Amino acid sequence: MEAGDDTPGTQGRPAGGYARSPLPRDKGAISKLIKEKISVLFQPSGRRGEIKAGKTVLQAAQELGVPLESICGGKSTCGKCKVRIQERGLEKSDFSGTRLSPLTPEEKKFISPDERKLGYRLGCMVQLYEDTLIFIPEESRGTQQVIRKEAREIPVDLNPAIKAHYVELSPPSLKEPLADFERLQSALHRSYGLADLSIDWPALLVLPQRLRSEEWKVTAMVWMDREILDVLPGKVEDYYGIAVDIGTTTVAVYLCSLRSGQILSSGSLMNPQVAYGEDVMARITYAMVNPQEGLTRLREAIIDGLNTLIRNTSEAARVSPQSILEMTVVGNTAMHHIFLGIDPQSLGISPFAPALHRSQNLKARDLGLKVHPSANVHILPIEAGFVGADNVGVLISETPYQKGEMSLIIDIGTNGELVLGNNRRLLSSSCATGPALEGAHLRFGMRAAPGAIERVRIHPETLEARYKVIGQEKWSDECLPEELQSRGICGSGIIEVVAEMFRAGILEKSGRFDGKRSSPRLRRNEKGQEFVIAWAGETAIGQDITISLSDVRAVQLAKGALYSGARIMMKKLGVNRLDRVVLAGGFGSYVDPERAMILGMFPDCDLEEVVSVGNAAGDGARIALLNRGKREEADRVAREVEYIELTAYPEFAMEFAEAMLFPHMKDPFPHLEGILKK
């Protein structure tokens, strides 16, 4: 399609498939729209404000802080941002009418003819040209995700980069008029053997007054035995650091005592960048198509989120943010670049080369973080364009490079990262798993928020389904319908329902529905067969929650990517069996290992050796915070691990096709034989 083509739904489409609705053909009208402001009112929140005419409903929601689901980041591929443009009641809202961009082909994929008659549109596609009243239905309202990144109890040899050194100095005299800084250097050398110390400029500015007001009895806060970050009054009893895990979907922080190593408080929130896209590529695209302000907005969003977590965890631990003298940070490569303000565009284009690999040490004041301004911020190294510092955090947490057993580590998040190996050799790779497992590409998929179905069991004979929703401890058959209020199905629920459908014989090995099974829950619609998990009377959205063939296919794509990645890595290492499988990440912690293996998310392994370790990336950040030697270990491991670009291997396509079947086309699963016969 040529640039400037007027075909509906194709105008203004940059390279890479990013789509937006067409603007009017008349250049004068376009010019007028750029200058005009229009009023919008969102219901049922009642939020209203002014936006520039021609913006989409999603852009308006982002500007006004209205939660609107957008799992695909506004690329019109998930259909989760349905809104209803209200024609009635406009007079009561002081609005006189509405004019919208035409319905696009992308919208027709997700909005039925009946819904179109009621005024439904996709928020990411429909542009607003006049005052508009917008209703966001229950299923499209962004909800607070349940954050599952609790800290583990892990042994750490305490050796932080920050040390507190108390000294008592003699004041200068005419016989010994040594300068203040040199006097402090001399005392630290005599008492602690520290030589060639430098001092951060803000600390130097307060040094003369601090020494004299404290009668020359002070504590020097020294980083890595070479830089004085601050000089504090008297003897300091405790001092603090924060470990940070910046995930694509969630952000977690752990506030620790650097004297004892104890976690004093922790906090987490959804990554504020989700307003600009749910996955890595959506955010890279946002930065690319908004070259003037895209990266700035993304970076400001994460810095603001981190400062909120710093404030909240400090208040919970009753410590001052000014006493936080170090931070360690992990995150995937895109989150790493955006956090540092580095343009992530190269990560979205082959060969996906990052701007840098090595670890970094920066000042908190330069990054806009509201801790001690001289605090050191240590960012762990990255491995490749799609295997970042988070994976390095997992490595120093799980230490497969120190063990003889053949381990497969799968960090299941918005992007799947795999590590295979032992103390002889390590390989890593990445694959796209998030869209289906995070809720995109599924009709009733959603994030792990209250009301999301997270556990499913299907009776193999009656095909009756029972389930659990987040926020409700009881199973569905133990509750009244009005107690359930299910809104959709999240990642762990998606894995369980498809595995249960296969085990119950509803699905064939190929993923197709078996036409021989019959149940009121099995039915056919205009798009094919579907299975009802929850009836409309049990839901908060007034619709049956179902799984269709297209949903099953989306899960097959995700699990096929993980399995084929693992198989290629196993072939490269010359191994045919796994001793251990580690499921990491907040999502991986809630995946049922048995059902994950029934699907074929990873090769056969003794189920007793399949373990969930929670937020191992965050654990790695905490280990690096509390033990400076682990940073050198992280730098070494990041250089030694071999990154495998899966798509560069000719056999990947065949491996992927074979891995699409449940659990696999031909690979044996001896540890499932008894389970699948139950």
Is residue 226 located within the same domain as residue 322?
no
Is residue 245 located within the same domain as residue 371?
yes
Angle between helices 389-398 and 616-626 in degrees, nearest 10:
80
What is the predicted pLDDT for the residue at 678? 56
- Which of these, 466, 403, 346, 333, lies nearest to 609 by C-alpha position? 403
Among residues 233, 260, 293, which one ends one of the domains? 233
Domain annotation covers residue 355: yes
Among residues 177, 206, 233, which one ends one of the domains? 233
Q: Domain containing 280 — which CATH number? A: 3.30.420.480
pLDDT at residue 677 is higher than 70: no
What is the predicted pLDDT for the residue at 147? 53
pLDDT tens per residue across span 658-673: 999 999 999 999 999 8
User: Per mean pLDDT, which range of 194-208, 298-312, 569-583, 644-658 is the poorest?
Assistant: 644-658
The dihedrals phi and psi of 298, each to the nearest 5 degrees, come to -60, -45
Domain annotation covers residue 295: yes
Mean pLDDT throughout 474-478? 89
544 neighbors 487 (Cβ within 8 angstroms)? no
Sequence-ordered list of residues with C-beta below 8 angstroms from that of 435, at least 6 positions apart, any chain: 71, 72, 78, 279, 441, 554, 558
Domain annotation covers residue 19: no
3-class DSSP assignment, residue 617: helix
Is residue 202 located within the same domain as residue 264?
no
3-class DSSP assignment, residue 327: strand
Q: Domain containing 671 — which CATH number? A: 3.30.420
Exposure on the CB side of residue 420, measured as CA atoms within 13 A: 26
Is residue 249 located within the same domain as residue 371?
yes
Domain annotation covers residue 154: no
Domain annotation covers residue 653: yes
Domain annotation covers residue 108: yes
Domain annotation covers residue 210: yes
Is residue 99 located within the same domain as residue 121?
yes
Q: How many residues does the chain have?
A: 678
Mean residue pLDDT of the chain comes to 86
Q: What would the two tokens of residue 531 be? A: 């299975």
Model pTM score: 0.78
Mean pLDDT throughout 199-216? 95
Q: For 562-630, list the strands marked E by DSSP.
A: 580-584, 610-614
What is the predicted pLDDT for the residue at 217? 95
Expressed as residue numbers, the domain containing 189 is 162-233
Is residue 478 located within the same domain as residue 534?
yes
Is residue 362 located within the same domain as residue 309?
yes
pLDDT at residue 88 is higher than 80: no
Is residue 68 located within the same domain as residue 127?
yes
CA angle 395–398–400, rounded 5-degree value: 75
Sequence-ordered list of residues with C-beta below 8 angstroms from that of 428, at least 6 positions apart, any chain: 383, 384, 387, 391, 417, 418, 419, 420, 641, 642, 643, 644
Q: Domain containing 50 — which CATH number? A: 3.10.20.30
Q: Please state the separation of Cα 370 from the chain's center in Å.
A: 23
Peptide bond connecting 663 to the previous residue in cis, omega within 30 degrees of 0: yes
pLDDT at residue 266 is higher than 80: yes
The answer for 16, left when phi > 0, alpha when psi is -120 to 50, beta otherwise, is: left
Is residue 295 located within the same domain as residue 373?
yes
Q: How many domains does the chain have?
A: 5
Domain annotation covers residue 17: no
Q: Determine the residue type at 438.
A: E
3-class DSSP assignment, residue 9: coil
Is residue 300 located within the same domain as residue 369?
yes
What is the predicted pLDDT for the residue at 110? 87
Q: What would the two tokens of residue 613 be? A: 């370790």
Q: Domain containing 180 — which CATH number? A: 3.10.20.880
Q: Where are the alpha helices (DSSP H) in 132-195?
A: 180-192
Is residue 249 located within the same domain as residue 302?
yes
Check the CA dihedral 48-49-52-58 and report its sign: negative
Is residue 250 located within the same domain as residue 308?
yes
The answer for 313, left when phi > 0, alpha when psi is -120 to 50, beta otherwise, is: alpha
What is the predicted pLDDT for the residue at 144? 55
Q: Which residues of 538-569 are buried (b: 16+ CB within 10 A; e: fewer)?
A: bbbbeebbbbbbebbebbbbbbbbbbbbbbbb
pLDDT at residue 179 is higher than 90: yes
DSSP 267-306: EEEE-GGGGG-SSHHHHHHHHHH-TTTHHHHHHHHHHHHH
pLDDT at residue 207 is higher than 90: yes
